[in-house]
Amino acid sequence: MSSLFVLIPIALLLLGVAIWAFVWAVDHAQFEDLDDAGKRVLFQEDDADGPVKSAPDPPE
Amino acid sequence: MMAASRTSEVRGVSCFHCGLPVPSSRAPSSVLGSATRLFCCTGCQAVATMIFAGGHAAYYERREAPGQRPAGPAGGRAGVDDFADDPEFQRTFVRRVAGDLDAILELEGAHCSACGWLIEKHLASLDGVIEATVGVATGRIHVRWRPERIALSSILAAIRDVGYAAAPHVPGRDESRRRLERRGSLRRLGIAGLGSMQVMMFAVALYAGDASGMEPVHRQFLRYASWVVTTVVVVAAARPFFVAAARQLGALAPGMDVPVALAIGVAYLASGWATLTGSGPVYFESACMFTFLLGLTRHVEMSARHARDARIRSRFGTLPDRAARLVPDGVEWVPTSALRPGDRVRLEPGDGVPADGRLVDGGGWVDESLLTGEAEPRRREVGDPLVGGSRWLEARSTLLVERVGIESTAARIENLIERAQLERPPVQRMADRVAVYFVSGVLLAAAGVFVAWSLIAPADALWITLSVLVASCPCALSLATPAALAAAGAALAERGFLVCRGRVLESLDRVDHVVFDKTGTLTWPEHRVTRVIVGSDDWNASRILGLARAMERHSDHPLASAFRGAPENPDVARSERAFVSRLEQIETRPGLGVEARLDGSAVRIGRIEGAGPGDDRVPMPGVRGESWLAVSHGDRLVGWIGTASPVRPDAAALIASLHARGVATSLASGDPSERAVHDVARQVGIEVWRADVGPHEKVEWVAALQRSGATVAVVGDGRNDAPVLARADVGIALGSGADIARGSADAVILGDRLGVLDEACRHAARTRRIIRQNLVWAVAYNAAVLPAAAMGALAPWMAALGMSASSVLVVANSLRLRRLRGASPGRGRVVAPPMTRPVSPVWAGP
């Protein structure tokens, strides 16, 4: 159990890193818009097929 | 390929793009994507063609709501494009990043991610655009482009090509403040959450150690580790509670934050003491969990509040973005925000008035309809005041700026809106008062418990008191109402009903009578052409309409709105283009009409006061509450154009629904034409109506109803109804776009769906029920748990858990209000059933 004296400080260090990363993300607007990024992925798979060209009527 | 011309078949068909009904004759159509599509106007047709041509046809499959009908060439915010490229103006919102330009635009008309995707793809296909990102939820476009390859005005035009409107975004104070608040709360949440997880793991180890034995040195080590992390959490994340508690104690009005701060503080300090002295249990995880969970509920409540507030874009939308300031050697263009009292500004016909002030040179007419609702232009001479936001009609004059910024009319109204948002509804204020007594009682009880237990078993006194404090904290009680109101407000905002004052939801449920305005409320604000009567053999309806559109292109008169927007008929469009090139000396005479010269002779379109189609060469077909414009060429009357503002398609359904719920309705209109008001009342099903009602009389009408004991709601277009809206128990304004007089309304209906009012009433009833449930639960919980804690039967960690669970329960119950029950999909735009009266012109002539 003396490994506790090493592991606990490591855990605290990791905690510090986690907190730093979270604060960095908040400050860099990573949490501003949570919906659009997900939906954009859904649309991307269709774009891989290439644009669909059709023949419109020339407007008068 | 033309659509089938059988009237019975085409009625009931909706425009492929915007969903509005297709006029029965000669609807524009195109073959797109191997099927024939029908459109309501050439504008929708152009947009859809553009979308297919760009390869974005998938938009139509993915979108969640119908598109917006685009404004025609003469409409829309054409003014912005003109000087979007002006470097002086761009300095207010464009950044330079490594040689490219970067800006944020506000977006109108996008309701779903498919819209955002469409705009992104379309902009990305433009040469010179490096990146375009659309945030539909926030209504923002972030675009980066190379200035030497493409101009900003082209980008704005491209957005209009696919049917949306964008304008430069100049961030207001509100938005920065909200963003800071949101980020601060998120940071604290993250720290509290991560810290809590770590301390809870340590706590598990400690409890295991208590159960099966642990070396004292290990126990101490774990305790110190917990102490370190808890210190971080308390200092970084719990500070708002301490600050608020100190403020409340200083004001001798202990609120909810006092027990919270006390609990966290006492838990932290006592556990620290126990760690130092090596005796007694520690409750670090309680302090952390408490901080996290309470912070979480506050964050959720704040998000809902922000979502609601962000929708009220009461920026000074009617103020022009720049003004022509007079300087000794001419004129300099400056952003409107740069104007100062004492500046002189040149006003040209058609300009927006940039600031409050008075006329010092010239004279002419001003259109204050956006502020007062009066469509008739008003005469202004030297010395008369002008209000920023109105529109100057003619002629060239000079304005002496008197008030800008905070003191201007526009700003004062925005202030009203802000202040209103801070108001707390009566229910909540009562809950706050109760909380004060409750908390004081709890503090006394805790003190009593401490004293009592110190005499009986001093070692336990502190912990038991801690339990009492934590267990009896009325957090749930104070959360009960705001959580519910926030959730309900956010849900309604999504449907297009914006709650601006807290009392709205509470009052909506009790409304017995609704008073409606006519123009712009029950009817569309714009006029539409209803009939064309041809009186001469060498003219036909298309030519008459084409001439009218060509002449009224630059007129700002409200009746001219009937000639805006893309024409429904290609013949009319062609005729309009032909006339535009032939017309000269187009002059608008306010109150009289528009005159011009066509191939040497005079043409005129105007109102002939008091006359309908009664000219003896043109038989009178019967007046149906329309306004008539006489068209003359030379000295011959060649025809009549009838205009009216059509009744909104969902108005009748709303009235019927209100009646079914036992709510009475009436119509009070400022329109002097009794026939027109009666016509509208009949169409929607309102039996009590009055025409020619001035603002004071409307207020009296509402006051009389209130005196007889009714709770009255007023639905108006917010512009000239300000006093009535303020007088009503619930004042509801209609009006999408930037309408600064909305500040007097308690709630605003965005978009075009009147039916959302009915949904709001139902939701208000549900909200009341849920608030009651919350309050009952909160009180019952506290009452049950307090004795248990005082007896010493409740450990502090149990108390903390129960406390947090109670709060979470209240918030979760309130979240049920987040969705409207029985709501149909698709928000904002009306997908109209076939209208009972045809909107398309009836061709009466060759």
Distance (Å, whole) CA B546 – CA B563: 9
- State how far residue B290 is from chain A, nearest Cα, in angstroms: 19
Dihedral over Cα of B788, B792, B798, B804: its sign: positive
Q: B31 or A45: which carries more pLDDT confidence?
A: B31
- A contact set with B (CB within 8 A): 1, 4-5, 8, 11-12, 15, 18-19, 22-23, 26-27, 31-33, 35-36, 39-40, 43, 46-47, 50-57, 59-60
Distances (CA, A) of B660 to B308, B665, B685: 30, 11, 12
Residue with tokens 């802000």: B418
Range B192-213 average pLDDT: 90
Dihedral over Cα of B560, B827, B651, B700: its sign: negative
CA B110 to chain centre: 13
Selecting from A11, A31, A36 the residue whose C-beta is nearest the C-beta of B116 gives A36
The DSSP call for residue B76 is: S
Which of B297-306, B433-442, B525-534, B545-554 is modeled with the greatest confidence? B545-554
Among A29-33, B191-195, B440-444, B471-475, which is the least confidently predicted range? B471-475
Longest CA pairwise span in chain B (Å): 113
For residue B65, the model assigns a pLDDT of 66
For residue B557, the model assigns a pLDDT of 65
Please report residues of B whose CB lies closer than 8 A to that of A50: 55
- Residue B73 — φ and ψ, nearest 5°? -60, -35
For residue B209, the model assigns a pLDDT of 85
Q: Which sequence positions of B are flagged as catalytic?
A: 517
Selecting from B58, B137, B229 the residue whose C-beta is nearest the C-beta of A33 gives B137
- State how far residue A18 is from chain B, nearest Cα, in angstroms: 8
Token pair of B100, please? 């490219």
Q: What does the pLDDT look like over B244-291, one tens digit per residue?
A: 888 888 887 777 778 778 878 888 988 898 898 877 778 888 888 878
Please report residues of B whose CB lies closer than 8 A to that of A35: 113, 136-137
Q: How confident is the model at residue B301 (pLDDT cuts 50, 70, 90)?
A: low
Per the CB < 8 A criterion, the answer to whether B96 and B102 are in contact is yes
Helix or strand holding residue B681 (H, E): helix B674-684
Range B60-80 average pLDDT: 57
Strands B344-347 and B322-327: antiparallel
Q: Do A54 and B135 touch (CB under 8 A)?
A: no
The ipTM, to two decimals, is: 0.76
Please classify residue B459 by burial: count the beta carbons closer than 10 Å to its beta carbon, then call 0-12 exposed, 13-18 middle and 19+ buried. Answer: exposed
Q: How confident is the model at residue B2 (pLDDT cuts 50, 70, 90)?
A: very low
Q: What does the pLDDT look like over B560-619, one tens digit per residue?
A: 777 876 677 778 888 888 888 888 887 776 666 788 888 888 888 876 654 444 444 444
Per the CB < 8 A criterion, the answer to whether B378 and B353 are in contact is no
For residue B192, the model assigns a pLDDT of 95
**Three-state DSSP class for residue B780:** helix
Q: B712 or B113: which carries more pLDDT confidence?
A: B712
Selecting from B33, B138, B229 the residue whose C-beta is nearest the C-beta of A15 gives B229
Q: How confident is the model at residue B664 (pLDDT cuts 50, 70, 90)?
A: very high
For residue B83, the model assigns a pLDDT of 63
* pLDDT above 70: percentage of residues in chain B: 76
Q: B372 or B500: which carries more pLDDT confidence?
A: B500
For residue B8, the model assigns a pLDDT of 31
Range B43-71 average pLDDT: 76
For residue B194, the model assigns a pLDDT of 96
- State how far residue A25 is from chain B, nearest Cα, in angstroms: 9
Q: B364 or B304: which carries more pLDDT confidence?
A: B364
Q: What does the pLDDT look like over B792-833, one tens digit per residue?
A: 777 766 776 777 788 778 888 988 888 877 654 444 333 332
Phi-psi region of B209 (alpha: psi -120 to 50; beta: other; left: phi over 0): alpha
Distance (Å, whole) CA B318 – CA B314: 10
Q: Do A19 and B215 touch (CB under 8 A)?
A: no
- Residue B30 — φ and ψ, nearest 5°? -145, 155
Q: What does the pLDDT look like over B483-541, one tens digit per residue?
A: 787 778 778 877 778 777 767 888 888 899 999 988 778 887 677 787 888 877 888 88
Selecting from A4, A43, A52 the residue whose C-beta is nearest the C-beta of B218 gives A4
Q: What does the pLDDT look like over B110-166, one tens digit per residue?
A: 767 778 888 888 898 888 899 898 887 667 888 999 988 888 888 888 888 887 878
Cis peptide before B114 (omega within 30 of 0): no
Q: What does the pLDDT look like over B214-231, one tens digit per residue?
A: 888 889 999 999 999 999
Token pair of B795, please? 């450990």
Q: B206 or B556: which carries more pLDDT confidence?
A: B206
For residue B830, the model assigns a pLDDT of 37
